[in-house]
Amino acid sequence: MNDLVRQHTALSDTDLEWLHLLVSEWQLLSDLSFADLVLWVPTRDGTRYVSVAQMRPNTGPTSYHDDMVGHLVPRGRRPLLDAALDEGRIVREGDPEWREEVPVRVESIPVRREGRVLGVIGRNTNLLTVRTPSRLELTYLQSASDLAQMIAAGSFPFPGQQVDMDASPRVGDGLMRLDADGLVQYASPNALSAYHRLGLASDLVGHHLGRATAELAPSRGPVDEALVKLASGYAPRETEVEGSGGVIQLRAIPLKPKGTRIGSLVLCRDVTELRRRERELITKDATIREIHHRVKNNLQTVAALLRLQSRRMDSDQGREALNEAVRRVGSIAIVHETLSQNLDERVEFDEIADRVLAMVAEISPGKVTCRRTGRFGILDAEVATPLSMVLTEILQNALEHAFVQGEQGTVEVSALRGGTPAEARLLITVLDDGCGLPEGFDAQRTGNLGLQIVRTLVEGELGGTFDMVPGRERGTRVVLDIPVRPQK
């Protein structure tokens, strides 16, 4: 809509915002009218109309099987649009149009803002399935007429009341029509069922909706008065009411077709099962985070026990083996600590990589600098855990074997996300400027326990490739190529 309005019309940005606000609300008008809506805006030169938005009803058959957005119509071809734009009134005159052997009633509703008519809504009703109207349909049509008059007068939609139609109640969820005193004139079967689930034992018609709703909700002191006023439809508001048997969502829409409030529409939706599932998900998420937190604590306890045991070892070789185990356990604990703070099973691995670098740097025999370049990005937990161990082993191996005691050097870890959206990959390079690899070294066949762990995790769990080759000038370069899920 933005592109069409800016390309073809002279409307300002504030006018465009008003049209966006209208379009966010007009599903309500379409459903109450059982009609398609098309928003027509006059072009900059005033010789044509351009259709910038379209809405089909959920309550009846459509009149337009084709998409109308972007169509240009010369002025004069549709007299009802001309009359609504020029005279600023709702135009209903004329016989039904025939479209593909389907009779369609056409009406035009001017869209007014601050006294100016910005465009015209074409309301098109498919008459092929018209039947004897019931009380529900008559209430719908009367409410649609009131809303149409409010649009023509510039009092609907309500400024500052942007509505999320995916989350708000819709006409079919449940509708109640109130008079100016807040008494229920009509309640749809779905609305009545929702209130019965909330705990209502009688009918709603003739009762004051605000007081009836407050009686069904738990007592909350002064808030009850606000609930009474909201449910009575005095102002455009949304709220949720929880009773002993369920939860309903309410949306109040004051009706002021001639400037004075004559009543209101209250849409309601039974969200009991939705809220129950949300609470279950919250509980599940909290449980998962607590499990990660406890695993982290247990791993830290294991690391502390291994550290104590290493201090009692007389053998330098045994002490070093236990210290390596401490670092391996610590790298896994870092991942679980990060997962315990997240709402899902995905982590920002850059933070984990930096902590692994700091942890492994503590064993540096000399003045070796460790740094990271590039971004690992967000990774799944099943990738992050083995990757943290792999990174620990590679760094530990570099710091132990690439430099002699007291020697200065650098170990750099670089990460690069690449590949296609369908097959994203993570390329990791660990480069040191140490003494390099011994002659005849083959990373796929030789190596200590740490390199065996790296090969197993990279090729087995991560499904990637691992290679260790001499650096371009000196030192050693380790390259990991791992498939990952694309970031969102």
pLDDT at 483 over 60: yes
For 426-468, what is each residue's pLDDT tens digit?
Answer: 999 999 888 888 777 777 776 677 788 888 888 888 899 988 8
**Average of pLDDT values for 298-310?**
86
Residue 221 has pLDDT above 60, yes or no: no
- pTM greater than 0.75 (yes/no): no
Q: What's the whole-number average pLDDT of the chain?
A: 86
Question: Residues 30-40: what's their mean pLDDT?
Answer: 95
**Of all residues in the chain, what percent carry a pLDDT higher than 90?**
41
Most confident of 89-103, 178-192, 273-287, 360-374: 178-192
Mean pLDDT of 293-318: 85
Give the pLDDT confidence score for residue 384 in this predicted structure. Answer: 87
Judged against a pLDDT cut of 70, whether residue 236 lies above it is answered with yes
Q: Residue 219: pLDDT above 60? A: no
The pLDDT value recorded for residue 80 is: 93
Residue with tokens 């509980």: 283
Per-residue model confidence (pLDDT) at position 481: 92
Quick: pLDDT tens for 130-154. 667 789 999 999 999 999 999 999 9
- Residue percentage of the chain with pLDDT more than 70: 94
**Model confidence pLDDT, tens digit, residues 53-65:** 999 999 988 888 8
**What pLDDT band is residue 14 in, cutting at 50, 70 and 90?**
very high
**Is pLDDT at 473 greater than 70 in this prediction?**
yes
Half-sphere exposure of 485 (CA within 13 A, CB side): 11
pLDDT beyond 90 at 85: yes
Query: Distance between alpha carbon 330 and the CA centroid of its chain, in Å?
Result: 35
302 confidence band (pLDDT: 50, 70, 90): confident
Q: Which of 356, 305, 361 is nearest to 331 (CA)?
A: 356
pLDDT over 70 at 163, yes or no: no
Main-chain dihedrals φ then ψ at residue 340, nearest 5 degrees: -70, -15
Give residue 365's pLDDT.
55
* 406 pLDDT above the threshold of 70: no
The answer on pLDDT for 484 being more than 80 is yes
| Predicted pLDDT of residue 343 | 62
Q: pLDDT band at residue 338, thresholds of 50, 70 and 90?
A: confident
209: closest CA among 221, 190, 222, 192?
192
The pLDDT assigned to 318 comes to 85
Q: What is the pLDDT of residue 250?
A: 93
